[in-house]
Structures are given as structure tokens and as C-alpha cells.
Amino acid sequence: MADADSTLPPLAPGTLYLVATPIGNLEDITLRALRTLRECDVVAAEDTRRTGQLLTYFGISRPILSYFRFNEARRGEEILQRLSQGAKVALVTDAGTPGISDPGERVVRAARQAGFRVEAVPGPCALVAALTASGLPSEEFHFIGFLPVKSGQRRRRLENLRGVEGTLVFYESPWRIEKLLEGLAELYPQARVVVARELTKKFEQFLAGSAAELLDRIRQRPLKGEMVVLVSRELAAPQAPEGSPAATPSA
């Protein structure tokens, strides 16, 4: 059982807190995330404007420092400097868990190497929400995140994943979902595929079927919004009886 007392100690000076934020539904912020954001000295954010809006929504006012992929090295130094002065630094990204297909890993490694304390303030993460609600095997899974943009590299990566066990979990954009499903239809024609879309939001949707079935579906009606694509080679997509139209992807 959770230890209620463990929520009581104040934030520790010289600590980097990795704070997960909602991936759509603002009710998903945790009490600990709110307290960390309220009590930290500075919030290091991927996008200062978006984080400013989030803080305002929750009635929190803290200094915000920009920290994103292209200034990670320089801003990382600044964060370490603040930690060395005893600051409590909260790192957030635009949505979800920092370090998961988002900035974070680099400054965490540098902070640990420099001997600073790093704490996770866990919470929303699209991969966990998608996997656990997909109905696909979750005992063993492999998180791939985004495939490379270049088609040759994408294909090679998909081919190399043939040898990997468990459910595959991809992050994908609406612009490239068709390309991903084409690759999956070619390399994993029997697999059961789930597209988990707009998780935690008003139009959340799970579409399941073979990659070819889902491809037909999105060619008729393109998918918008944010999505996670999951692939199980253990569970075959149900086959439509011979002579009948292909099974409609299930929502």
C-alpha cells in the first residue's frame, strides 16, 4: 500500500525533479506534481509558453527557464549551476513524462554524474496509457518511440525489429501514420495492430485490426490528433471469413 507519510517531506535543495504532466486531460496531474511545481525554485520547461499556461491553470506562479533539445547542452549547464547553489529544479516537457521521446535524459545523466539528487515525480505517459488499455500483451513490450523520418532508415528499423520479442510500441504523427501502417502491413501482415488516439481526451479512440485493415480505414477517413501504434506479433488480427468484406476495424 502507498505510504501516505512519504508525501510529507518538503522538497530537498539541490534536487532535480522530473515532473510528469497531463497528455490531454488536466485532471491527470498528480498531487505531488502540483506540490513540486508550487514549491520548486524554478521550472525548466520544453516550451515556456505552454508550461506557463499549465501553471496558470493550476494557480501556480514560478520562474520558468527554457530547456529544449537544441539548447540542452547550454541550459543543462545552467540547471547544474542552479542545483549546485541548492536550488530545487522541476523539469517538465510539453506533455507526459520527461525523457520519454522528450528532452530530459541528458540533463539527468549530467546531474547524476555531478552527484546531484534526481527524483521522478511519476504520472501520465502515452506509452503506458496506450499499452495498458490496448488489450495487447503487456508482460513484455519494446518501446520504439518515433521511427526515423527517412524511408530507408524507417524500413531498416522495422526490419530489425523482427527479432525483438513482445508488443512493439511506436509514437507516430498523423502525417506519417499511413507510412508506418504500410511498413507494418508488408513486414507484419498477421500482427494485431492497435492505434490509440487522443488518449485521455474527449475523442479518445482505439482502433484495432491488421495493419492492412487499418490502412484501408484511414485512407477512407484520415486520422487526426496524437497517436500511439502498438503491434503484437503474438496475437493475429481476426481474419474476415472468405468472400466477406474485410472486418471493420474495431473501436
Binding site for ligand SAM (CB under 6 A): 23-24, 93, 95-97, 100-102, 125-127, 171-173, 196-201, 226-228
* Shortest distance in whole angstroms from residue 3 CB to ligand SAM: 25
H, E, C per residue of the chain: CCCHHHHCCCCCCCEEEEECECCCCHHHCCHHHHHHHHHCCEEEECCHHHHHHHHHHCCCCCCEEECCHHHHHHHHHHHHHHHHCCCEEEEECCCECCCCCCCCHHHHHHHHHCCCEEEEECCCCHHHHHHHHHCCCCCCEEEEECCCCCHHHHHHHHHHHHHCCCEEEEEECCCCHHHHHHHHHHHCCCEEEEEEECCCCCCCEEEEECHHHHHHHHHHCCCCCCEEEEEEEEEECCCCCCCCCCCCCEC
Q: Which residue is nearest to ligand SAM, using beta carbons?
A: 96
Which residues make Cβ contacts (< 8 Å) with residue 79, sequence separation at least 6? 16, 44, 65, 67, 89, 91, 107, 111
In the bound state with ligand SAM, the residue whose beta carbon lies nearer, of 40 and 131, is: 131
* Shortest distance in whole angstroms from residue 18 CB to ligand SAM: 11
* Shortest distance in whole angstroms from residue 9 CB to ligand SAM: 26
In the bound state with ligand SAM, the residue whose beta carbon lies nearer, of 41 and 66, is: 66
C-beta separation of 142 from 167 below 8 A: yes
In the bound state with ligand SAM, the residue whose beta carbon lies nearer, of 104 and 209, is: 104
In the bound state with ligand SAM, the residue whose beta carbon lies nearer, of 77 and 224, is: 224
* Shortest distance in whole angstroms from residue 28 CB to ligand SAM: 10
* Shortest distance in whole angstroms from residue 241 CB to ligand SAM: 32
In the bound state with ligand SAM, the residue whose beta carbon lies nearer, of 24 and 76, is: 24
In the bound state with ligand SAM, the residue whose beta carbon lies nearer, of 133 and 212, is: 133
* Shortest distance in whole angstroms from residue 201 CB to ligand SAM: 6
* Shortest distance in whole angstroms from residue 156 CB to ligand SAM: 21
In the bound state with ligand SAM, the residue whose beta carbon lies nearer, of 155 and 201, is: 201
Please report, as a single letter, which amino acid is at residue 61: S
